[in-house]
């Protein structure tokens, strides 16, 4: 089910209370996805030899399963955890193969549809759509997030401004919030984006959380006060707007943008493989149907092009680039495209170390940290590498909770703890930036 654009645009212009009376049923109906995940499973296994790796790649390819972790077939390797979403009509074939090859596996989620429904337990009494009592511990649709942004822009003119940096492939505005005490002199800035990958819903939830925390605490918390006095934060809560919307309306596990470039029937480009930095080399795919498709050329995606343009224009000002993904519980820094040490390694490494210590202090949750290439895997054309190569000295990518128990279906009850601990890490990185190395 789709909300006509004209309605969305019209709704945005109305007083906000009215907007949220207009649309209460939309996500409630569409979130069930026509029961398309009934009986689907998510299984985990760890290939133990090169032979198993080759066999598994073949089967995965043949069955066209949806890889959750790692994100591409090329990264399926010996000793690496693979989580794979298996459609119900393929699970018999896959299990037969695994038995015959004696590969042990574990069922992480036995019925994906049930898990989705359990987590989107929407009741009108939760009041998730009213802006006065906007809930930060539920997931919000794109329309809700954009309504919230307009609301924040209107109600906090002293700290927040809002603008669009371009249009998505499907023509939606790419909104950014600028947060910080307004001054006449220029200030350093931090860029934060969430939702490059559509199905990683905890990202946009964190971006909203960050803004809420800043607004709620800056008067009482000296660290936040300092942050807002001395810096601007450019916050893009939903980078991949078309994909994010599609993950609400059609396919909960959609990752890419929604562009169409080829004769193939497949849509979308991986917006984290489309940047002009070793574009489409290792860890990216040239095939339009793959989840890590790098696109027909660098910055082919209007979303990537718009953000790259903005970052380039503000490169003197922006000292940190932070991008929020899920899931793995990792804090990654460059390089992603090669095994090599960055020139300001000492500064970046100590910032990462302090950040994960700070994060752990909240609930004891452990994050791995390190260069993306050796901590996660090699991938080229990423936003983080691009930001670093374009002169932003602190570039980080967070892979938020969890480590696969719920995967992309992180329950709403875990939004608050996840965002609370992540907040500590982000504040720590930001303070580091104000204090120490360049």
197 binds, among ligand NAG, Zn ion, none (CB under 5 to 8 A by kind): Zn ion
Rounded CA gap, 134 and 405, in Å?
28
199 binds, among ligand NAG, Zn ion, none (CB under 5 to 8 A by kind): none
Judge whether 411 and 327 are in contact, CB under 8 Å: no
Which residue lies nearer to ligand NAG by CB, 285 or 428? Answer: 428
Rounded CA gap, 358 and 365, in Å?
10
For ligand NAG, the binding residues in 44-103 under the rule CB under 6 A are 87, 89-90
Which residue lies nearer to ligand NAG by CB, 25 or 264? Answer: 264
Which residue lies nearer to Zn ion by CB, 197 or 245? Answer: 197
CB of 297 vs ligand NAG, minimal distance in Å: 30
Give the range of 158-166, 189-197, 307-315, 400-408 binding Zn ion by CB under 5 A: 189-197
Which residue lies nearer to ligand NAG by CB, 162 or 395? Answer: 162
223 binds ligand NAG (CB under 6 A): yes
Rounded CA gap, 43 and 47, in Å?
13
Bridge partners of residue 44, in order along the sequence: 83, 106
For ligand NAG, the binding residues in 323-382 under the rule CB under 6 A are 354, 357-358
Rounded CA gap, 172 and 222, in Å?
37
Query: CB count, 10 Å around CB of 15?
Result: 7
Which residue lies nearer to Zn ion by CB, 201 or 335? Answer: 201
CB of 17 vs ligand NAG, minimal distance in Å: 17
CB of 277 vs Zn ion, minimal distance in Å: 17
Is 399 considered catalytic here? yes
For Zn ion, the binding residues in 205-264 under the rule CB under 5 A are none
Q: Which of 25, 163, 345, 363 binds ligand NAG (CB under 6 A)?
A: 163
Cα distance between the two ends of the chain: 49
Give the range of 253-261, 267-275, 282-290, 425-433 binding ligand NAG by CB under 6 A: 425-433
Rounded CA gap, 106 and 98, in Å?
11
Rounded CA gap, 405 and 421, in Å?
19
Q: Which position among 52, 115, 301, 399 bears the catalytic label?
A: 399
Which residue lies nearer to ligand NAG by CB, 44 or 427? Answer: 427
153 binds ligand NAG (CB under 6 A): yes
Give the range of 13-21, 158-166, 221-229, 318-326 binding Zn ion by CB under 5 A: 318-326
Closest CA to 192 of 353, 396, 438, 385: 396
235 binds ligand NAG (CB under 6 A): no
49 binds, among Zn ion, ligand NAG, none (CB under 5 to 8 A by kind): none
357 binds, among ligand NAG, Zn ion, none (CB under 5 to 8 A by kind): ligand NAG
Closest CA to 139 of 147, 129, 149: 129
Give the range of 130-138, 195-203, 279-287, 373-381 binding Zn ion by CB under 5 A: 195-203
162 binds, among ligand NAG, Zn ion, none (CB under 5 to 8 A by kind): ligand NAG
Which residue lies nearer to ligand NAG by CB, 10 or 163? Answer: 163
135 binds, among Zn ion, ligand NAG, none (CB under 5 to 8 A by kind): none
197 binds Zn ion (CB under 5 A): yes
Rounded CA gap, 100 and 95, in Å?
8
199 binds Zn ion (CB under 5 A): no
354 binds, among Zn ion, ligand NAG, none (CB under 5 to 8 A by kind): ligand NAG
38 binds, among ligand NAG, Zn ion, none (CB under 5 to 8 A by kind): none
Residues with active-site annotation:
399
> Which residues contact ligand NAG (rule: CB under 6 A)?
87, 89-90, 150, 153, 161-164, 223, 354, 357-358, 427-428, 431
Q: Which residues would be at the binding site for Zn ion (CB under 5 A)? A: 197, 200, 325
């Amino acid at each position: 089910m789709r909300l006509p654009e004209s309605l969305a645009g019209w709704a945005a212009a109305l007083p906000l209370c009215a907007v949220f009376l207009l649309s209460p049923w939309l996500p409630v109906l569409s979130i069930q996805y026509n029961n398309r995940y009934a009986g689907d499973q998510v299984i985990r296994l760890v290939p133990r030899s090169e032979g198993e790796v080759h066999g598994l790649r073949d089967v995965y390819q043949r069955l066209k399963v949806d890889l959750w972790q790692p994100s591409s077939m090329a990264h399926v390797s010996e000793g690496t955890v693979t989580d794979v979403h298996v459609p119900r009509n393929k699970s018999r074939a896959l299990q037969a193969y695994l038995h015959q090859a004696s590969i042990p596996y574990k069922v992480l989620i036995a019925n994906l549809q049930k898990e989705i429904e359990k987590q989107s337990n929407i009741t009108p009494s939760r009041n998730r759509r009213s802006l006065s009592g906007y809930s930060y511990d539920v997931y919000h649709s794109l329309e809700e997030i954009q309504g919230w942004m307009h609301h924040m822009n209107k109600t906090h003119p002293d700290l927040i401004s809002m603008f669009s940096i371009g249009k998505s492939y499907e023509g939606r505005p790419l909104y950014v919030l600028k947060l910080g005490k307004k001054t006449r002199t220029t200030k350093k800035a931090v860029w934060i984006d969430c939702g490059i990958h559509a199905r990683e819903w905890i990202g946009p939830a964190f971006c909203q959380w960050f803004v809420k925390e800043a607004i709620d605490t800056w008067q009482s918390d000296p660290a936040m006060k300092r942050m807002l006095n001395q810096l601007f934060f450019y916050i893009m809560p939903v980078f991949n707007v078309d994909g994010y919307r599609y993950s609400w309306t059609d396919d909960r596990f959609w990752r890419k943008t929604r562009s169409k470039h080829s004769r193939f029937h497949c849509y979308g480009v991986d917006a984290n493989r489309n940047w002009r930095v070793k574009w489409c080399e290792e860890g990216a795919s040239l095939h339009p149907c793959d989840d890590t498709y790098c696109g027909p050329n660098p910055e082919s995606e209007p979303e990537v092009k718009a953000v790259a343009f903005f970052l380039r224009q503000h490169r003197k000002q922006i000292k940190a680039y932070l991008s929020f993904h899920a899931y793995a519980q990792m804090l990654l820094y460059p390089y992603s495209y090669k095994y090599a040490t960055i020139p300001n390694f000492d500064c970046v490494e100590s910032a990462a170390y302090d950040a994960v210590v700070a994060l752990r202090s909240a609930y004891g949750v452990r994050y791995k940290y390190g260069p993306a290439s050796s901590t996660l895997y090699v991938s080229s054309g990423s936003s983080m590498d691009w930001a670093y190569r374009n002169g932003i000295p602190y570039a980080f990518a967070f892979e938020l909770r969890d480590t696969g128990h719920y995967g992309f279906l992180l329950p709403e009850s875990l939004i608050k703890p996840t965002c609370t601990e992540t907040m500590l890490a982000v504040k720590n990185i930001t303070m580091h930036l104000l204090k120490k190395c360049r």
